[in-house]
A and B are shown apart, each in its own frame.
Chain A
Amino acid sequence: MSRPFTPKVLTANDLIEGDAVWLTADETWSRDMADAELLEDEAVAQERLIFSLTQSDVVVGAYLVDAEASPAGPVPVHFRETFRTRGPSNYAHGKQVGA
């Protein structure tokens, strides 16, 4: 028995910069997870994953991952994904300082 579908976002790393990006509803990639399209329908999520296969010249290693709705936009469920929205905890580097 497969588990019930939980909402997801499609995420990847940028080809040149290597940082985390998320797929938006208009099929562009954003560096801010809040802009991401929250995929609440499994069929749509699969469709987006297939779309990502055509994006190999923009991003690397796309995958679907759990997310939740919030007033500001989708937010992560798992701590690993939270770190991807921020950057490392030992230095103020990465997205937490907008770089």
Chain B
Amino acid sequence: MYTYNDFDENFVRERVAQFRAQVERRLDRSLTEDEFKPLRLMNGLYLQLHAYMLRVAVPYGTLSSKQMRQLAYLAERWDKGYGHFTTRQNIQYNWPKLKDVPDMLDALADVGMHAIQTSGNTIRNVTADHFAGAAADEIEDPRPVAELLRQWSTDHPEFQFLPRKFKIAVTGSPTDRAVTKAHDIGLRMVRNDAGEPGFEVIVGGGLGRTPMIGKVIRAFLPKADLLPYCEAIVSVYNLLGRRDNKYKARIKITVAENGLEKIQNLVETRFEELKREFNGFDQELLFSIEAQFQPPVFRDAPTAAFEAYRAANPAFRSWSDTNLSDHRAEGYAIVSVSIKKHGATPGDATADQMRVLADLAERYGHDELRISHEQNVILPHVHKSDLPAIYEGLREAELATANIGLVSDIIACPGMDYCALATARSIPIAQEIAERFDELKLEHEIGELKIKISGCINACGHHHVGHIGILGLDRAGVENYQITLGGDGTETATVGERAGPGFAADQIVPAIERLIAAYLDIRNDSDETFLQTYRRVGLAPFKAALYPEKEAQNAA
């Protein structure tokens, strides 16, 4: 794992000291809110409906157990005993007091963490495949590259005032678990004809009010050219991106308005210039970072204990069927810990749960944890013989829900329970859907299904790329929920189609139930997922299920 060098450490400490002084000046009235607001946002401090909110970056989603314990400590000492893991691999604290925030930032710096560039028109926390370094289908661990990007983008003087926020995601596998096509820059590792690893570079993806799937700007970029190429993209955007209208300021609009070809030409020209300037120091840096991401020493041990426990314990069997993924090392598995217990708030973990996760990672998981964009926690390297012990540890902490990838594994943004921009709540809808399908005992029968909920058009809950997306709106002073269908956030990314008029809060769960009943009815067999069925039959039969009255009228 990457550990801060002296430069990183000094930089972060200095930023905390600066912010401490800024908070003091705000509290003694020498700074006005207009002066202070940009400063607090630079340090990840927002103001929400009921309190401040501190957003802490978890770079490329990777945490050590020591860091996870410190997150628990922050939750307990300065918040209400829990934290919220988000789709951007951040953790948000919903209740900090302004005067405490500098202490929180110091406590984070103690474990090499910070909240820098988690807000503002800068390059944000670089996200990565949460299975990085572990996935069986991976070409290379993408995190050294993500760390390189982080170092390059942090405090980059040219890129502190971009036209708008800028998000980069990286995956080291052809299978895209990092939603790279919905980012300003998406990097997907592929091999060229000679078998060398490099990146497919995707540009101009994004969600929000104008959702767009990113376009391939370079089909194969040698790994060594990554930094100058990304710098070329960002610098072309910095000059060309619109600053007159914040709704047209993201690079997706720059690409759409100028055309991919023009952007491509500008980027390639700039890249040629920059490439000469880079003269190898970035590669030396990358090598030194790579040395810190060496895979753990995997052990060669029998897995019979795992098989025996599976045979004896149906609950464990069910959990291991849904919550494990293939690891690249023999005898190992990747464990996805569901932070989506039925009826609980998606992505919220208590301080106690964080400590249990840290302990399990330390004891059985090579001291590593990941935060996934689906708001779950991953133990990336677990030997199968340790799975029974892990399962029992998780179960005691109410963390053993067997629902990864199923109906109740819902992404939900904070919505109007916390967020000042929200037009409706999202959390209670997620809670109700999860509880309803748990009650019906149908979710394993339904199989893979991704429901994603946002509380306004900003789409922080990724609803556009949910197989079923739910968008909360305010219709004449009442919460109303619009459904989109057929969205997909993987390498076959698609923006979902709007199904029709929205539903009142008490009608949305029955509507989802009708949709899923229709799917069970029309799928070819239990191997055909909701998304596959949707792709085969289209919107019509689902629309009929959603709006039966309309259907009856048409038939009459």
Contacts and interface: CB of A to CB of B under 8 A. Distances in A.
Contacts of A84: 49-50
Interface stretch (A2-10, A12-20, A41-49): A12-20
B428 interface: yes
Interface in B416-443: 416-418, 422, 425, 427-428, 431
Nearest to A17: B97
Interface string A14-43: 011111100000000000000000000000
Size category, B interface: 20 to 34
Contacts of B131: none
B43 to A, nearest CB: 15
Contacts of B417: 83, 88-90
A16 B477 contact: no
B416 A83 contact: yes
B49 A83 contact: yes
Nearest to B45: A18
B520 interface: no
Interface in A65-92: 77-80, 83-84, 87-91
B29 interface: yes
B27 interface: yes
Contacts of B50: 18-20, 84, 87-88, 93-95
Interface in B37-80: 47-52, 80
A13 B477 contact: no
A80 B456 CA distance: 13
B47 A61 contact: yes
Given A61-B33, A90-B428, A18 B80 contact: no
Nearest to A59: B33
A20 B49 CA distance: 7
Q: Of residues A16, A20, A90, which shows the largest number of chain B Cβ atoms within 10 Å of its Cβ? A: A90
B47 A90 contact: no
Interface string B346-374: 00100000000000000000000000000
A79 B478 contact: yes
Contacts of B478: 79
B99 interface: yes
B51 A19 contact: yes
Contacts of A95: 50
Contacts of A18: 47-48, 50-52, 96-98
A56 B49 CA distance: 18
A51 B469 CA distance: 44
Contacts of B479: 79
A79 B49 contact: no
A90 B416 contact: no
B98 A15 contact: yes
B18 interface: no
A83 to B, nearest CB: 6
Nearest to B99: A16
B425 A89 contact: yes
A13 B47 CA distance: 8
Contacts of B52: 18
Nearest to B345: A90
B441 to A, nearest CB: 24
B81 to A, nearest CB: 10
Contacts of B29: 56-57
A91 B80 CA distance: 10
A16 B99 CA distance: 7
Contacts of A94: 50-51
B33 A79 contact: no
A56 B26 CA distance: 10
22 contacts: A15-B26, A16-B97, A17-B51, A17-B97, A18-B48, A18-B96, A19-B51, A56-B29, A56-B32, A56-B33, A60-B33, A61-B33, A61-B47, A77-B477, A79-B477, A79-B479, A80-B416, A83-B417, A84-B49, A87-B50, A88-B94, A89-B427
Given A83-B416, A94-B51, 14 more contacts: A16-B99, A17-B98, A18-B50, A18-B97, A20-B49, A20-B50, A56-B32, A61-B33, A79-B479, A83-B417, A88-B94, A89-B425, A90-B417, A90-B431
